[in-house]
Amino acid sequence: MTDKKPVILVTRKLPDAVEARLARDYEARLNPYDTLFEADELIKRAEGADAILPCHTEHFGADVFERLPDSVKIIANFSVGYDHVDTQAAKKAGVVITNTPDVLSDATAEIVMLLMLGAARRAGEGENLVRTATWKDWSPAFMVGTQVTGKTLGIVGLGRVGKVVAARARGFAMTVIYHNPTRQPEAEEDGAVYYEKLEDMLPQCDFLSLNAPNLPSTRGMLNAERIALLSEGAIVVNAARGTLVDDDALIAGLKAGKPAAAGLDVYNNEPDIDPRYKELPNTFLLPHIGSATAETRDAMGFRALDNLDAFFAGKEPGDRVA
């Protein structure tokens, strides 16, 4: 790095350890009040900045890149997903884009298991009974849910997170099957059975975990036609991206009992999610906390800073995506 510290615009409140490293190595424009910047405010605050360290909550479309100050040379995302960035527009503007892969697979896989257990064992309903003092007594018919142990888990997207989900599921003696656009090497399958066609896998699933990225080919992939193919009693969980789900189709299916339940950590248009989800008793809902552990959030921040360090040292960032 040069003697003059690069100016980094940080769009959200980051972990203390990450902000301390930022303040040590850069001229950091922090956001201590965690205000969400809309496009106009973001562009205004980026004036004179050399880099932006945003989260998935900020959107960098072609219109933003057209107005972004020329001083900004790199956007180092505090996220694995980078679908909030128009990478073609970034390339046209000469702005490098990085992300933070690998460091949140364990934390996200934990949330997938929580969603599976919460939806299957009716945890949301049960907690509400306790909190509202409406729990009356016990009986053999009370709060009967679905057992997870020994069931078949279908994973859509056996990537970084999907493989960890598969490993955790085996701890519950689950049979793991999966669908990917292409088959994984046999050594990386670890016994998981590959289905080339998603439609062929769905009838085999007791649980279906969506772990695919947000791509044109995956948006709305869980639609009415595919929900109809699920086995009776199947439970759907999604800790990847809300865009994978057709909300109308899933809500209609939940009302009709197929799927039997859903555990969701991500949504379309979050945090302003479709209010019908909250009215359904067979949903277990979390507020996008897949990576929300202290260890993971620190690791994400340090990974983003590693990318900035490399860039300003004249090296290729290890996690460059555009």
Q: Please confirm whether the linkage preceding 6 is cis (ω < 30° from 0).
A: no
Q: For tokens 């990917």, name the residue.
A: 180
Assess whether 241 carries a catalytic annotation: yes
> What's the rounded Cα separation, in Å, for the pair 272 and 270?
5
Q: Which of 84, 270, 276, 320 is catalytic?
A: 270
**Which residues does residue 207 pair with via DSSP β-bridges, in sequence order?**
153, 235
Domain boundaries, the chain: 7-103+294-312, 105-285
Q: Mapping DSSP to helix (H, G, I), strand (E, B) and coil, where does residue 153 land? A: strand
Burial of 194 (0-12, 13-18, 19+ CB in 10 A): middle
Instruction: List CB contacts of 18: < 8 A, sequence separation 6 or more.
Output: 297, 298, 301, 302, 304, 305
CA 191 centroid distance within chain = 25
In sequence order, the 6+-apart residues with CB closer than 8 A to the CB of 71 are 7, 46, 47, 48, 49, 50
Residues 265 and 239 sit within 8 Å (Cβ to Cβ): yes
pLDDT of residue 114: 98
12, 56, 160, 241: the active-site residue: 241
Which residues does the chain have with pLDDT short of 50?
Answer: 1
For residues 264 and 276, give the distance between their C-alpha atoms in angstroms, rounded to a whole number.
13
Residue 270 bears catalytic tag: yes
Pick the catalytic residue from 288, 303, 316, 320.
Answer: 288
For the question of residue 56 being annotated catalytic, the response is: no
Phi, psi of 64 (to 5 degrees): -70, -45
Q: What is the CATH number of domain 7-103+294-312?
A: 3.40.50.720
Query: Other C-beta atoms within 10 Å of 125: how many?
Result: 16
Domains 7-103+294-312 and 105-285 share a fold: yes
User: Other C-beta atoms within 10 Å of 315: how many?
Assistant: 10
CB 79 within 8 A of CB 99: yes
Sheet holding 283-285, edge to edge: 193-195, 175-179, 152-156, 207-210, 235-238, 261-264, 283-285
Where are the alpha helices (H) located in 68-145, listed in sequence order? 87-93, 105-120, 123-131
Query: Which CATH superfamily groups domain 105-285?
Result: NAD(P)-binding Rossmann-like Domain (3.40.50.720)
In the DSSP assignment, the letter for residue 177 is: E
Residues 6+ apart with CB under 8 A from 134: 128
Q: Is 128 helix (H, G, I), strand (E, B) or coil?
A: helix
